[in-house]
């Protein structure tokens, strides 16, 4: 039975597709995203890095899918800072690869690196297009974006019901995951979140591939879903409060007030609280000294 670890505590998506006992689901997801048809799930190595799932082939370095480095993250709320976050994760993984290969990055020989493929699966409530390419350059001053020596882009895929059907249906566990989220949201209209989760798990069709796995880990799965939905609802509440306070006392004062509330209520760092609130990188740098904590930029 898979253990519910701290890495997975609030992301059911990563728990399903990061399961080492169900690499076939991970491979199915990869095939659906890339329109490929690979068949050997045992060739995949799966690891996680702060809620990001990354996959690799079992070769000398054990972290590659052929010549690609695939980072997958799930987001239940829109976050325009994903290029920044995934750039940081990619840098950390490259450092690990170089260390494992015992390469010298200060040497005269070029070190070959896998091509990064950065994907975010989005199923938040805000209306978003089928796909959206997020660019790191969007964080730069508009008149300086073309001058950047660094370009990072993230492919955001909308997996809400009715979106990207041709891709979602190619991966049965992904289709079943989207059904589960939609069922909880529908149940939530008539009952509290805990009962909504229980009903969705109970009503899940018996032929769903993920049902035995979720049933075997039901306690942990409920904890993940409760954490995720409580975070989402808390953020929406604070955003609404922020809009009201912003009208009364100004944008910066309202933002800082709500950042502090989120830090206290959700036990988050200033950086994570600002990421949850979709605070721009420019504003994060201005707010950090006021919060007595510098963001991890």
Same domain, 244 and 143: no
Alpha carbons 277 and 170: distance in angstroms, whole number:
33
Alpha carbons 189 and 124: distance in angstroms, whole number:
16
Same domain, 61 and 10: yes
Largest CA distance in the chain: 65
The better pLDDT of the pair 120, 256 is held by: 120
Number of Cβ atoms within 10 Å of the Cβ of 59: 11
Alpha carbons 109 and 44: distance in angstroms, whole number:
29
Same domain, 101 and 153: yes
Same domain, 159 and 195: yes
Given 166, 194, 216, the domain boundary residue is 216
Given 216, 246, 277, the domain boundary residue is 216
Same domain, 100 and 191: yes
- The beta-strand segments (E) located in the chain are 44-49, 52-57, 68-75, 115-122, 131-135, 153-158
Given 159, 186, 216, the domain boundary residue is 216
pLDDT in tens, 206-262: 999 999 999 999 999 998 888 777 666 555 555 555 555 444 446 788 788 888 877
Alpha carbons 13 and 6: distance in angstroms, whole number:
14
Phi, psi dihedrals of residue 47, rounded to the nearest 5°: -145, 165
Same domain, 170 and 270: no
Instruction: Give percent of the chain with pLDDT exceeding 70.
Output: 81
Contact status, residue 230 vs residue 196, Cβ threshold 8 Å: no
Tokens of 252: 């910066």
Whether residue 1 is contained in a domain is answered as: no
How far from each other are the two terminal CA atoms of the chain, in whole angstroms? 38
Q: Quick one: pLDDT band at residue 58, thresholds 50, 70, 90?
A: very low
Same domain, 123 and 53: yes
The better pLDDT of the pair 54, 217 is held by: 217
The pLDDT value recorded for residue 5 is: 34
Contacts of 118 by beta carbon, 8 Å cutoff, 6+ apart: 71, 82, 83, 86, 90, 152, 153, 154, 155
Whether residue 59 is contained in a domain is answered as: yes
Same domain, 79 and 18: yes
The pLDDT value recorded for residue 250 is: 65
Residue range(s) defining the domain that contains residue 67: 6-216
Torsion sign, CA atoms 204, 49, 114, 154? positive
The pLDDT value recorded for residue 54 is: 66
Pairing of strands 153-158, 115-122: parallel
The pLDDT value recorded for residue 297 is: 38
**What's the mean pLDDT in 80-99?**
88
Whether residue 163 is contained in a domain is answered as: yes
Same domain, 277 and 242: yes
Domain count across the chain: 2
């Amino acid at each position: 039975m898979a253990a519910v670890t701290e890495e997975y505590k609030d992301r059911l998506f990563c728990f399903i597709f990061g399961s080492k006992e169900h690499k076939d689901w991970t491979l199915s997801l990869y095939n659906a995203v890339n329109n490929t048809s690979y068949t050997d799930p045992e060739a995949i190595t799966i690891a996680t890095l702060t809620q990001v799932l990354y996959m690799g082939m079992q070769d000398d370095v054990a972290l590659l899918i052929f010549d690609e480095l695939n980072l997958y993250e799930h987001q239940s709320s829109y976050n325009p800072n994903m290029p920044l976050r995934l750039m940081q994760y990619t840098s950390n993984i490259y450092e690990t690869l170089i260390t494992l290969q015992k390469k010298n990055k200060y040497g005269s020989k070029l070190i070959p690196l896998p091509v990064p493929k950065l994907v975010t699966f989005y199923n938040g409530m805000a209306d978003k297009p089928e796909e959206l390419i997020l660019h790191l350059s969007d964080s730069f001053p508009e008149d300086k974006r073309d001058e950047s020596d660094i370009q990072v882009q993230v492919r955001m895929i909308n997996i809400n019901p009715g979106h990207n059907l041709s891709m979602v249906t190619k991966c049965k566990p992904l289709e079943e995951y989207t059904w589960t989220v939609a069922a909880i949201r529908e149940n939530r209209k008539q009952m509290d979140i805990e009962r909504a989760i229980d009903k969705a798990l109970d009503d899940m069709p018996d032929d769903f591939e993920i049902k035995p796995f979720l049933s075997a880990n039901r306690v942990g799965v409920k904890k993940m879903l409760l954490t995720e939905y409580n975070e989402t609802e808390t953020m929406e509440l604070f955003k609404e409060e922020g809009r009201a306070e912003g009208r009364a006392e100004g944008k910066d004062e309202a933002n800082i007030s709500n950042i502090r509330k989120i830090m206290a209520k959700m036990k988050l760092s200033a950086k994570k609280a600002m990421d949850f609130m979709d605070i721009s990188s420019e504003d994060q740098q201005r707010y950090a000294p006021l919060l007595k904590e510098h963001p991890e930029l």
